[in-house]
Structure 1
Amino acid sequence: MGRFVPGITTALLVLTSPAAFAATDDAADTASNTVDDVLVTAARRDLIGAAATSSQGVVVKEELELLPAYRVGQMLETVPGLVVTSHSGEGKANQYLLRGFNLDHGTDMATSVDGMPVNMRTHAHGQGYTDLNFVIPELARGIGYTKGPYFAAQGDFSAVGSIQMAYLDQLPAQVALTAGTLGYQRAFAAGATALGAGQLMAGGELVHYDGPWDHPDNLRKGNAVLRYSQGARADGFSVTAMYYRGLWNATTDQPERAIAQGLIGRYGTLDPTDGGQARRMSLSGTFAMPVDAGWLAGGEVTANAYVINNQLTLWNNFTHFLDNPVQGDQHAQDENRMVAGGAISYSRPLNLLGLDHEVVAGLDTRFDDVHVDLRATRARVAYAQLSNDNVQETGGGAYVQATSHWTPWLRTVVGMREDYLAATDHGSNAGVVAARLFQPKGSAIATLWQGTEVYLSAGRGFHSDDVRGASQGNAPLLAKADGEEVGIRSTILPNLTATLTAFQMDFVSELTYDADVGQTEAGRPSRRRGVELNTTYNPFSWLEFYGSVAFSHARYTDSDPAGSFIPDAPKLIGSLGIYLRDLGPWSGGVEYRYFGAHPLVEDNSVHSAGSQEWNLTANYTLQSGLRFGIGLYNVFDSKDDAADYYYTDRLKGEPAEGVGDLHAHPLEPRSVRFTVAQSF
C-alpha cells in the first residue's frame, strides 16, 4: 500500500517531520522517479522499529480513495479515532472529534497541506479554524498523523493531534462526473505533462450541493491547482498555486422547541438568510536535497515556504431575538487575512560511542496579518459595527530531536522545542502581547519480541489563543498542554496489527465553543484520561478490516460550582472500515462511524445521545480505465443529530431573558451519488 523512499534518513523522521512526510510515494510517481529499492508496506501496520509512539502513522492514497467520504473533510476519518461532522453549511469548516475532544473547527489538531498550515489564528469564527474545502481529494498523496504533544517538529495547535497531507506531483490524465440526490453535482479533471526537466500538473473541480434543507445550501464551489515539480521527493522541488472560491447558504443548529411548535421542520431554519462566502489563494514551494559536502555531509535538508490569502464572511443567527428583539441577532463575521511563512530542517544519521543515532533539527516561522470584524446584520445587510480589529501575529519555533538505539531492543526519542509568539491588535481590543514556551518531549521504546513494541511517552505542547482575548487579559497567549501515554503495538499474529494506548492530557486552558456568540474562547483548565484501541486485519490481499475505538473521561480540574463536566466531550468515539481492493475490476469501502453520549452543560443535567452512521462506496473499473462508481451515505437513514448544543435563545413572543434549549443539526438523510470517470 504505502511506499517508503530510502532517501529520507529514517522512517521515524518521515513520520515526525512535516517536510519529510512526502516520502510516502505512490505508483504514479514511482513510474517517473527512478527508485530501485522502494519498499511496499501496509503503512498502518509496518511501523515496528520506526514509530515513536503507538498512536502515529501514515495513511496512503489507496485508503483515501476507498473511504466513503460524504464531504472532503471526511477524508481525515482515515486517521484512527477521528470523526468529522458538520453543524452548519457545507462551505464552512467541519467539526472534528478525537480522543474525547470536541475540537470544534480544529482548535487542537494542527493540519497542513504540503507544509502550508490550515489552522487560522485569531479567526473571525473560531481559533484554529481548519477549512479543507480547498482540497481536491484526487490530488492528495496521503496523510501522516501524530497524536499527543510528543513530536518536536509539531508546534501550534498540535497538542491533541496533527495531520500532514501531501499532494501528488503528477497523475494520469482523468475526468470524472458525479451526480446524486439532494442536489449534488461535481465535475473534476486533472492531468500532467512533461515540461523541461520536470512535470507540470493541473487539476480542477466544480461542485454544487443543496442538501436536504428546506432552504437549500446551494453550495457553489470551485477549486484549481497548478503544480510544477522536478526530481524525487528526497532530492527535488515543487511549486504549487491554488485557488478556491465558495458561496453557500447555511442551516445552523436550531432550537428543538421551534420544531416541536411547528415553526420549522426537522430540516428547517428560523433564519434562511444565514450563509457564507470564502476565497483562498496560495503559492507554496517545497525543497529537499541530500548534503554531500562540508560538515553537513551525510545529511538531508528539507524546506518549504508559502504565502496565503484567506477571505471569509459567515452570516449566523444563533440566538434569534435574544439581543435585538426588533432586528434579530444575525451577525456577520468577516476576515481578510494574509499568511506568510516557512520551515527548514536538517536530518542526519550519526554513530557516536558505538551507538546509532538519528538527529533532526529545524526552524519554522509564520506571520499573520488579519483584519477581522463583527457586524450586526439583518438578511445579510449590515446596520451596526460591533467590533473591528487589525491584528499582526509573528511567531516561530526551533526544535531538535534525537533518536538513539541503545540496544537491539531499546531506543529513545528525546526532543525539545521553543516557541515564541508576539502580536499587536490595533482596534476594538487594542494591545500588545508576547509569550514563549519551552516544550520538552521524550519517548522510550522497547521491543519485547519480534513484532511487538511498548512505548512510554511524555511531552508538552500548546495552542495559541485569540489575540483579542489575550490583549484584554482574558486568556494566555500560549496555552500549554502536558501529556503522557503508554502504548503497545503488535503484529504478532499473521495479517493482524493492533495498537493499544492509554493517555492523559492536561490543558491549562481549554478552548470551548460559545454558541451564544458563535466563537471559541479560552476556558477552564481540563484533564482527559482515556484508552484507544486500533486494529487492522488483512485476511486476504484484496480485503482489509479496520477498527478504532477510544474511551475517555473528560473533566474540568478547577472548583467552579457550575460543574466539572466538559460540554460536547464524547465518552466514546469509534469507527469500523472495510476496504475491498483489486478484486478483479471491483473495489470499494464501507465505514461505520460513532460518537457516543456527551454532556451539553457543565453539571451534566443536559446531555446528547450521540450519533452513528453507515456509509459505503463501490467501484467497477474496466481495463480501458473507465470506472463506474456509486456512493451510498447514511445507509440506514439514521435520524441522529450531527451536532447539538445547549444554550439560551429567544423566539418571537418569548420572555426577554430567553429560553434555554437544546439546539440540533441533524444528519443528512440517506442519499446516493453516481460517478463516471475515465483515466487516459
Structure 2
Amino acid sequence: MKTTLLLFIFSLHVLLLTAQTTYSSRIIDAVTNEPVEGAVVQSKNKVTTAAKDGRFSITLENSETIVTISAIGYATQEINTANTGNVLLTRAAFNLKEVVIAAGDITKVYSTISKIDLNQRPVNSAQEFLRYVPGLFIAQHQGGGKAEQIFLRGFDVDHGTDVRITVDGMPVNMPSHAHGQGYADMHFVIPELVKTIDYGKGSYYAEQGNFNTAGYVELQTANRLSQNTVQTEVGSFNSYRALAMVNLLPATNQKQSAYIASEFIYSDGAFESPQNFNRLNIWGKYNVQMNERNKLFLQANVFNSRWDASGQIPERAVNDGTISRFGAIDNTEGGYTGRINISTKLQQRLHNDDLIEHQLYYSRYHFNLISNFTFFLNDPVNGDQIRQQEERDIYGWQSNWQSKKFKGNTAFTSSIGSGARFDATHNSELSRTKNKTEILDAVALGNVKEANAWLYADEKIERGNWLFNIGARVDYFHFDYNDKLNPSLASQQKAIISPKLNIFYTVNKSFQFYLKNGKGFHSNDTRVVLPQTGQRVLPASYGSDLGFIWKPFKSLLINAAAWHLFLEQEFVYVGDEGIVEPGGKTRRVGADVSVRWQPLKALTADANINFAHARSIEDAKGENYIPLAPTVTSTGGINYQYNSWNASIRYRYLANRAANEDYSITAKGYFVTDASLSYAFNKFELGTVVENIFNTQWNEAQFATESRLRNETNPVTELHYTPGNPFFIKLKLAFHF
C-alpha cells in the first residue's frame, strides 16, 4: 500500500513538472537598443522582472502562450511565447496603471518612477537629483561649487557621512576628505545624461557598503543617446549654460554606441559680491556588444570648477543693518576643484544564464577651499580664514555574480559580490591663512592611505506571496597616515560584518507588507582612527522599517513606513574649523508617507511627508538634541504633460529644528515653490524654469556658530546662515537632431 501511494505521488509530481514550460527572452528599448531593466513580465499566475541586461525567464503552464510585458514609461505589450527574438518596447507617456504589485521588493517602484521624473523635473546640477529621494533635502553654502549639505531621516549628513552615493558604479563619497568624512561631490555629472536613479532608505542592502546608514543613491548614465542635442540657457544673476551631446556612431549600428557630451556653466549668483562661478564637464562613453553574451563598457570624464563665495553670515549683522542678506563679512571665500574618472566594465551572461559583471575604475581628484566661519574669533588682527585642500588618487575594482534558479514553485536569486578600493591623498591640509595664499599656521598636513576590501552574499527566496531576502557583507579597512607636522602613528586595521534580513508579503495585486532589518556603518576619518588605536573605527548602525505599498485604485499608489535607527557614533559639526568630529550614540525613530496619483492621463501629482525624532542617548534630556536634524519635511507637486507641452509646479517644506544641543538656537524652516514650463516643436524645445516663484525669504544652510566681528569685544554664539536664492528665472532653447 505504501509503495503504491509513493508511486502515485511521484507520478503526480512528474506530471505537474511536465505540464510546465519556461519562456525566456530579452527586453530592450526600441529606440536606444538598451536593456529595460526591471520590466515586469506577467503570466496568469506568475510575475518576474528583467535583469540588468534585459533578460528574463518565467515558468508557464503548457496551455499558456501569452505573457504581458510592461514597464514604466513604455507601452504595454502582449507577447506570444512562440516569439524567439528580443522584445522591443516603445516609449509611451507615464501611466501609473502600469505599476504592478507582485512578490518582490516593490519599494523599488518609487525609484523606477523617478526615471519618469527625470523628464518632468528640470535640475540645475546632478546634485539636485538627490531631491528625487522622498524626504531628502540638500543645502548649498559655498557659491555652488562645493558639495551640498544633505539631510535625510533625522540626519544632518553633512556632505555625505551617512548616505552612500555612486555614479555608474563608481563611488562618489570620499573617506578622510579634507573638508569632511564621506564628502560627496556629484557636480561632475551632466544632468541630461542620467538615465536612472535608484535609491533606498536605511541600511538593508548587502551590496551597499561604507556610508550606507541613512540610505543610498545610485545614478546610471545613458549608454546611448536617443538623440543629439545642442542647448543654451540664460538666467537671472548673469547665469549662462551651454550643453552639447552628440552620438559618434550611427543609430543603425546596434552592436556599438559612442557619444561625447559637454557642458559649461557660469553664474554670478544673487550675492552682492559676484561668485564668478564656472564649471566645465566633458563626458565620453563607448559600449560594444562583443557577442551575444558579452558586453564591454568604457567611459571617461573630466570636471573642473572654480568659484568665489560670500560664506555664512551672522544673523546679528543682518538685523542691525551692517550687511544685507546677500552681503558678506568676508567675501574672499571660494575655491576650486576637479576630477577625472576612467572606468571599464565587462558584463557577461554565462551559458547557464548566470550574470557576471567586472568593473575597474580610477579617479584623479583635487580640492581647494577657502572659508571663514568665525571671522575674528581666534585672530582679531588677520581674521580666521582657513584653507582645506588635498589631491587624491582612487583605484577600485568590483565584481558581482547573479543567478536565478527555480525549484518547483520556489525561485532562488543568488548574488555574490566582492571588491576593493584604495584612496591615496597627497598633502591633505588644514591651515590658517591670510589672503588665501599666505599660511599663518599649519594645523594639519599629511598623506592618507586608506584601503577597503569587501565581500557580500545575498539570497532572495520567493515562494507564493512571500519573499525572504537574507544577506550579509564583511568589510575590511586599513588606515595609514603620514603626518608631516607630528610623529606618525602606527597604521590600524579593522573589519566589520553587516547582516541583513528583509521580508515581503504580497497580499494581492494591490497590497504588500514589508519588514526590513539591517546593520550598516560609516567609517571614521583615518586621522581620527589612528589616535584612538583602533577604537570606534567603524561605528555601526542598526535599523528596521515596517511598511506597506498599497494601490487602492489603479491611479493611486501609497507607500508608508515606520522606522527606527540606532547609531553607535554620531558625527558632530565643529563650527570654528568647518569640519565634523566623532560624537556619541544616537537613536532615531520616524515615519515616511509617499503618495503618487494620476487622476488624468496627462496629469500626475505626488506628495510625501516625513517625520523624524532624533536624540543623543548619552546626554541629559533637554540637552540631547542633534543639531540640524530635520524633524518634519515634505515635498510634492503637480505635473501636466500633453502632446508637446510639459508644465509642473513643486514645493519643498522643511520645519523649524534645533540648531544646537539644547535648542536655544533655532534653524528656521521654509516653504519654497518652483515651477517649469516647456514646449517642443519640430526639432526644437523651448522652456523656462522659475525657482522661488513667490520670492520667499529663506535660509538654505544654517549653523549655530560662535563668532566675533571686527568691532566686537566679546564673541557671540548665534545662527549663521547662507540665504536661499530669491526669485530666479531661466530660459532654455534646445535643438534635437
Calculate the TM-score normalised by the size of structure 2.
0.85
Corresponding position of 1:514: 574
Aligned pairs (5 A) from 1:424-443: 424-427=480-483, 428=485, 430-431=488-489, 432-443=491-502
Corresponding position of 1:273: 332
Displacement after TM superposition at 1:11 (Å): 4.4
* Pairing 1:403–2:464 present: no
Corresponding position of 1:19: none
Distance in 1 between residues matched to 2:589 and 2:142, nearest whole Å: 30
Distance in 2 between residues matched to 1:143 and 1:24, nearest whole Å: 15
Match of 1:129 among 166, 183, 194: 183
Corresponding position of 2:515: 456
Match of 2:162 among 101, 105, 108: 108
Alpha carbons of 1:532 and 1:25: their partners in 2 closer, same or farther (altered >3 Å)?
A: closer
Indicate conservation of the 8 Å contact 2:103/2:505, yes or no. Answer: no
Indicate conservation of the 8 Å contact 2:605/2:637, yes or no. Answer: yes
Corresponding position of 1:379: 435
Corresponding position of 1:630: 688
Corresponding position of 2:245: 190
SS state at 1:217 partner = coil
* Pairing 1:523–2:578 present: no
Aligned pairs (5 A) from 1:308-327: 308-327=363-382
Percent same amino acid among aligned pairs? Answer: 27
Match of 2:275 among 195, 207, 217: 217
* Pairing 1:4–2:37 present: yes
Distance in 1 between residues matched to 2:212 and 2:386, nearest whole Å: 31
Residue by residue over 1:95-133, the C-alpha shift from the partner in whole angstroms, topping out at 9 and shown as x without a partner, is: 211122121111111111100100011011111111111
Match of 1:179 among 194, 213, 234: 234
* Pairing 1:609–2:645 present: no
Match of 1:142 among 196, 209, 212: 196
* Pairing 1:289–2:343 present: no
Displacement after TM superposition at 1:572 (Å): 0.5
SS state at 1:486 partner = strand
- The AA in structure 1 aligned to 2:396 is G
Aligned pairs (5 A) from 1:297-316: 297-316=352-371
Displacement after TM superposition at 1:540 (Å): 2.2
Match of 2:563 among 461, 480, 503: 503
- The AA in structure 2 aligned to 1:194 is L
Corresponding position of 1:660: 717
Alpha carbons of 1:562 and 1:546: their partners in 2 closer, same or farther (altered >3 Å)?
A: closer
Distance in 2 between residues matched to 1:329 and 1:24, nearest whole Å: 55
Indicate conservation of the 8 Å contact 1:290/1:301, yes or no. Answer: yes
Distance in 1 between residues matched to 2:164 and 2:101, nearest whole Å: 22
Aligned pairs (5 A) from 1:447-596: 447-473=506-532, 476-559=536-619, 563-581=623-641, 583-596=642-655
* Pairing 1:678–2:735 present: yes
Which shifted more, 435-444 or 281-290? Answer: 281-290
Distance in 2 between residues matched to 1:531 and 1:654, nearest whole Å: 45
Aligned pairs (5 A) from 1:26-45: 35-36=86-87, 38=89, 45=99
Residue by residue over 1:110-169, the C-alpha shift from the partner in whole angstroms, topping out at 9 and shown as x without a partner, is: 111100100011011111111111110111111011111111000011111111101111
Distance in 2 between residues matched to 1:610 and 1:70, nearest whole Å: 23
Distance in 2 between residues matched to 1:71 and 1:298, nearest whole Å: 39
Alpha carbons of 1:522 and 1:103: their partners in 2 closer, same or farther (altered >3 Å)?
A: same
Indicate conservation of the 8 Å contact 1:399/1:415, yes or no. Answer: yes
Corresponding position of 1:20: none
Alpha carbons of 1:281 and 1:24: their partners in 2 closer, same or farther (altered >3 Å)?
A: farther
Distance in 2 between residues matched to 1:572 and 1:442, nearest whole Å: 28
- The AA in structure 2 aligned to 1:679 is H
Distance in 2 between residues matched to 1:235 and 1:180, nearest whole Å: 45
Indicate conservation of the 8 Å contact 1:306/1:342, yes or no. Answer: yes
Which shifted more, 149-158 or 601-610? Answer: 601-610
RMSD: 2.6
Which shifted more, 45-54 or 660-669? Answer: 45-54
Which shifted more, 415-424 or 371-380? Answer: 371-380
Distance in 2 between residues matched to 1:53 and 1:143, nearest whole Å: 13
- The AA in structure 1 aligned to 2:443 is L
- The AA in structure 2 aligned to 1:586 is W
Displacement after TM superposition at 1:71 (Å): 4.0
Corresponding position of 1:244: 303
Distance in 2 between residues matched to 1:289 and 1:355, nearest whole Å: 25
Corresponding position of 1:30: none
SS state at 1:57 partner = helix
Alpha carbons of 1:56 and 1:503: their partners in 2 closer, same or farther (altered >3 Å)?
A: farther
Corresponding position of 1:18: none
Corresponding position of 1:338: 393
Structure with larger RCO (C-alpha < 8 A, sep 6+): 1
Indicate conservation of the 8 Å contact 2:106/2:549, yes or no. Answer: no
Distance in 2 between residues matched to 1:194 and 1:423, nearest whole Å: 45
Calculate the TM-score normalised by the size of structure 1.
0.92
Which shifted more, 529-538 or 354-363? Answer: 354-363
Displacement after TM superposition at 1:353 (Å): 7.0
Unmatched 5+ stretches in structure 2 = 1-28, 30-34, 42-46, 54-69, 75-84
Residue by residue over 1:33-61, the C-alpha shift from the partner in whole angstroms, topping out at 9 and shown as x without a partner, is: x9415497869944543317589633554
* Pairing 1:418–2:418 present: no
Displacement after TM superposition at 1:3 (Å): 4.1
Corresponding position of 1:97: 151
Corresponding position of 1:77: 131
Displacement after TM superposition at 1:561 (Å): 7.6
Distance in 2 between residues matched to 1:458 and 1:5, nearest whole Å: 23
Distance in 1 between residues matched to 2:688 and 2:293, nearest whole Å: 37
Indicate conservation of the 8 Å contact 1:54/1:455, yes or no. Answer: no
